[in-house]
């Protein structure tokens, strides 16, 4: 592995000297090539466009200031990857990774450094030799897919470990604190579910289209251009690369059968994408299960709240019935308590106790009747 070299001259030269900083904002990139060397490039977008031969529309997808969904684009000479925080450009012999000092990108840089190193420097067994047979762009693509799947899987595991205890606590005790905690977790789950869904949809779209997968075979295109079958007048795609000759030689040997009639063979890439599609689909299933658990908890909470409301309604019915009966009793008391001289009030003092007794019994009977009728109609519980 070669030492890291910080380079800015190439970007400035490609952008036209000092004027490049005015035309395009400088961004930090780290470059890995097929020879195992790595460099840090402080290059603007024009230098990057010139180096990998992509247009501004494709490079705009990698702008962290713009919100673009997860995308894997196959171009004639490059693969443009926008997978959450992983923003990279892969060619047949180079990988350019944006913002390598970002905390979430550092593990990707380390994995690229390990996986893209020459096999003689890192592995000496048969398995390492077989791994080296894969095209360079597929090894780089595998690293990025593995990184994003692991990242989203880890976020999902963290969310599960926090959500399930919070939901169980909410079912046992409904409080403002628990409700607010679950609300925040549900909001985070919704955002994470959308991110995972976008990655899954992009992989599914690639798997459903053989032509899109064929566009990702950069080594095959490079070998076809360098092959005698394609003539000697093919374009020089990477004039500034010191490893182009060795890469063409390896790609030519690996793609000899492809040139003679297997141009649409995408089985190797399909197996790679299928593996990570299943992994991201498993993550999405976990989030779906968590969403269903949250929905079930919400239904349970709503049932509990409905039950409490029904109990309050029953209490209100009892109180209203009692109020009506007492109102009748008060009506009788008010009639006999009016300070108006009546002749039938004279010499009838013994009737007072009967009026009080009969009025009380009548009101009690009326209250019991109302409650019995409500129970008979199922308006209150037994």
Helix (H, G, I), strand (E, B) or coil at 80: strand
Query: What predicted TM-score, i.e. pTM, was given to this entire model?
Result: 0.72
Whole-number CA gyration radius for the chain: 38
As a whole number of angstroms, the distance between CA 256 and CA 316 comes to 86
**Whole-number pLDDT of residue 349:** 67
Q: What is the pLDDT along the chain (382 residues), one digit of tens a residue?
A: 444 444 444 433 333 444 444 444 456 899 998 888 888 888 888 888 888 889 999 889 998 888 888 999 998 889 999 999 999 999 999 999 998 999 999 999 999 999 887 754 444 444 444 445 788 999 999 999 999 999 999 999 999 999 999 999 999 988 999 999 999 999 999 999 999 999 999 999 999 999 999 889 988 887 766 655 444 443 343 334 444 344 434 444 444 444 444 556 788 899 999 999 999 999 999 999 999 999 999 999 999 999 889 888 888 888 898 898 888 888 888 877 777 676 666 666 677 788 888 888 999 998 899 888 888 888 776 5
Residue 50: exposure state from Cβ atoms within 10 A (0-12, 13-18, ≥19) = middle
- Asked if 53 and 64 count as a contact pair (C-beta separation under 8 A), the reply is no
| pLDDT in the model for residue 132 | 52
Identify the structural domains of the chain with CATH numbers, from first to last: 26-104 (2.40.128.330), 309-338+349-377 (no CATH)
Give the model's pLDDT for residue 142.
93
Cα separation, 97 vs 86, whole angstroms = 7
380: left (phi over 0), alpha (psi -120 to 50) or beta: beta
Position 166 scores a pLDDT of 94
Scored b (16 or more CB within 10 A) or e, 5-22 reads eeebebbbebbeeeebee
Sheet hosting strand 71-74, strand order edge to edge: 5-7, 38-43, 27-33, 94-98, 86-90, 79-83, 71-74
pLDDT of the residue at 264: 63
| pLDDT of 119 | 56
Please list the residues that pair with 55 across neighbouring strands: none
Q: DSSP of 218-272, one letter per residue?
A: HHHHHHHHHSGGG-S----S-TT-TTHHHHHHHHHHHTHHHHTT-TT--HHHHHH
Write out the two tokens for 139: 């090894």
Look at residue 26 and give its three-state secondary structure. coil
What's the confidence (pLDDT) of residue 190?
95
| Structure letter (DSSP) for residue 100 | T
Backbone angles phi, psi at 81, to 5 degrees: -115, 120
Eight-state DSSP code of residue 1? -
CA distance 312 to 84: 50
**C-alpha–C-alpha distance, residues 46 and 24, integer Å:** 7
DSSP assignment of 37-50 equals -EEEEEE-HHHHHH
Beta strands in the chain (DSSP E): 5-7, 27-33, 38-43, 71-74, 79-83, 86-90, 94-98
Q: Report the alpha-carbon distance of residue 382 to residue 369 in Å, rounded.
A: 15
């Amino acid at each position: 592995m070669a030492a890291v070299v910080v380079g800015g001259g190439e970007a400035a030269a490609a952008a036209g000297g000092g004027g490049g900083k005015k035309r395009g904002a400088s961004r930090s990139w780290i470059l890995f090539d097929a020879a195992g060397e790595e460099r840090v490039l402080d290059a603007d977008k024009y230098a990057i466009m010139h180096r990998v031969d992509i247009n501004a529309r494709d490079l705009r997808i990698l702008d962290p200031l713009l919100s673009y969904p997860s995308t894997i684009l196959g171009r004639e000479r490059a693969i443009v990857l926008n997978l959450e925080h992983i923003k990279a450009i892969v060619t047949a012999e180079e990988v350019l990774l944006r913002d390598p000092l970002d905390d979430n990108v550092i593990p990707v840089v380390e994995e690229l450094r390990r996986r893209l190193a020459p096999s003689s420097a890192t592995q000496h067994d048969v398995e390492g030799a077989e791994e080296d047979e894969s095209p360079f762009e597929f090894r780089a693509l595998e690293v990025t897919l593995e990184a994003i799947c692991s990242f989203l899987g880890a976020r999902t595991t963290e969310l599960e470990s926090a959500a399930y205890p919070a939901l169980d606590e909410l079912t046992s005790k409904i409080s403002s604190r628990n409700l607010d905690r679950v609300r925040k977790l549900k909001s985070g789950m919704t955002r994470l579910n959308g991110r995972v869904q976008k990655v899954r949809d992009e992989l599914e779209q690639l798997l459903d289209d053989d032509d899109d997968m064929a566009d990702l075979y950069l080594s095959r295109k490079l070998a076809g251009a360098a092959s005698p079958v394609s003539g000697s007048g093919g374009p020089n795609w990477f004039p500034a690369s010191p490893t182009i000759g060795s890469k063409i030689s390896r790609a030519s040997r690996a793609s000899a059968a492809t040139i003679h009639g297997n141009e649409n063979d995408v089985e190797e890439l399909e197996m790679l994408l299928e593996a990570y599609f299943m992994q991201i689909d498993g993550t999405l299933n976990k989030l779906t299960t968590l969403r269903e658990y949250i929905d079930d908890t919400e239904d349970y909470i709503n049932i509990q709240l409905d039950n409490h409301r029904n109990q309050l309604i029953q209490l209100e019915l009892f109180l209203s019935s009692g109020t009506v009966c007492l109102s009748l009793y008060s009506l009788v008391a008010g009639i006999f308590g009016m300070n108006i001289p009546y002749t039938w009030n004279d010499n009838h003092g013994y009737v007072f106790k009967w009026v009080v007794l009969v009025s009380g019994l009548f009101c009690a009977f009326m209250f019991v009747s109302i409650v019995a009728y409500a129970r008979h109609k199922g308006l209150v519980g037994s």
